[in-house]
Structure 1
Amino acid sequence: MAQVPQVPELTPQFCFNTLALRDFLRISRGSIDDSITQNLNALQAPSTTGFDPSSTGVRNPRGPNPRRIDSIPCQNFKAKVLFPSWQVRSDVLNYCASVATSPDPDDPELIAREVEGQRYKKRIVDERLDPYSARFFPKEPRTEMLASVIRQEIGVESIIRASSWGLVVERCGGESGDWEKALGAWKSGLGFSKAGRSLNAS
């Protein structure tokens, strides 16, 4: 069975290092969601009875879904691998979203932007000579850049989860087609993580 990727240490520095943030998300998605078909195939137990030569003499119709997986392995996979990996990614994205909307006094480029703004105010602008001279594009604060990355990744996450859940429903059966409801039901049964963080914030 696939393993849930290790939770990174959640710090503002981790979030602002968007390369590390995206690497974590890529590795997590790659090991669980991008390989969901292989993960589900691994849940199917091989035949325990062996091959019966007499079975070739009778033509038996196939069942409605020969690829259907037993409910117990499916439940274990969802409860121990799929939902925990989704929740870890939600925790990371939620944390970094809060960092992106918090004051950032440690921004290393804060002073440079302030100096740039002061220089702009002191400039002499003559749009008759240069119609573009009044344009000013200050460098975007790193919190805004992080917020943009988080919005993109949340959108990607929603698409990936819908795709993975569709395959889980197809192979395991007996489930709602809405991954958000299924994840919410899992979280409500779990309550709190071992670390004491509430898992009820998606």
Structure 2
Amino acid sequence: MTGNNERTFTAPENLLESNLTFPDDEPTLTTITVTRERCVDPSLLDSFLRILRHGSDDIIRQKLNNYRKPSSNSENKCERFLKQELYPNWQIRSGIISFCDQEATQMKVETDQKFSNTGSSAIGPLTDARIDPYAARERLEDQEARYRNWTKVKDWVANNRQIEQILTSTTDRILRQNCEQNKDYLKQFAQFCKDNT
């Protein structure tokens, strides 16, 4: 069960310039191609997302200070940071998670079809529990095995959506403190995504 879909994402240029260090000598990734296999075994995606999250949300106060120039006002500083760094970063992260979400949906459809099209003969005839008391358990284990990868990807997507929601909410609060307090930065991000698709 493999999908042919893939999408390539590249970290924003200014993120690549910073000297980021990670524990356990984790390699610094700059470009990643996302496939179904990488959604099922997301260790590389996790590394890439960790780099992106660290490069923007984790150090947002330092990032905003880097944009502070004596001649520019804070409004300009914030707008440049949002458009050049933060929103492209968020968009890449959202794109990776959405790709895996779509793959999970497709995996579920494919597995459901496999079960319904082939009928019970594909997983063996239904055996009376009095003849083979383990038959029902074996059928259940077989079905669980077929759905395991789908469940794994679905759980990974849900977990990462939750992480993103926490990070973007925290960043939104910091932006309101340091930039324009009456702006809805999350709504502005949604508009940025529409304009840049």
- 2-side partners of 1:27 and 1:75: how far apart? 22
What SS does the corresponding residue of 2:33 show, helix, strand or coil?
coil
Partner deviation per Cα, 1:117-146 (whole Å, 9 max, x = no partner): 6599587229xxxxxx89955334212211
Q: Please point out which of 135, 141, 145 is paired with 2:152.
A: 145
Structure 1 unpaired stretches of 5+: 49-68, 127-132, 193-198
- 1-side partners of 2:86 and 2:126: how far apart? 52
More strand by share: 2
Identity %: 20
Q: Judging changes above 3 Å, is the alpha-carbon distance between structure 1 residues 77 and 122 closer, same or farther for their aligned structure 2 residues?
A: farther
Contact preservation (8 Å) 2:87, 2:189: yes
More helix by share: 2
Contact preservation (8 Å) 1:7, 1:88: no
- RMSD of Structure 2 on Structure 1 (CA): 3.6
> Is 1:96 matched up with 2:108?
no
| TM-score, scaled to structure 2 | 0.65
Structure 2 unpaired stretches of 5+: 1-12, 17-28, 115-119
- 1-side partners of 2:125 and 2:162: how far apart? 38
| Aligned residue runs from structure 1 range 32-43, under 5 A | 32-43=56-67
> Is 1:20 matched up with 2:40?
no
What SS does the corresponding residue of 2:32 show, helix, strand or coil?
coil
What SS does the corresponding residue of 1:9 show, helix, strand or coil?
strand
Q: Judging changes above 3 Å, is the alpha-carbon distance between structure 1 residues 81 and 120 closer, same or farther for their aligned structure 2 residues?
A: farther
The equivalent of 1:154 in structure 2 is: 161
| TM-score, scaled to structure 1 | 0.64
Larger Rg: 1
Q: Judging changes above 3 Å, is the alpha-carbon distance between structure 1 residues 12 and 44 closer, same or farther for their aligned structure 2 residues?
A: same
Comparing 86-95 with 19-28, greater Cα deviation is found at 19-28
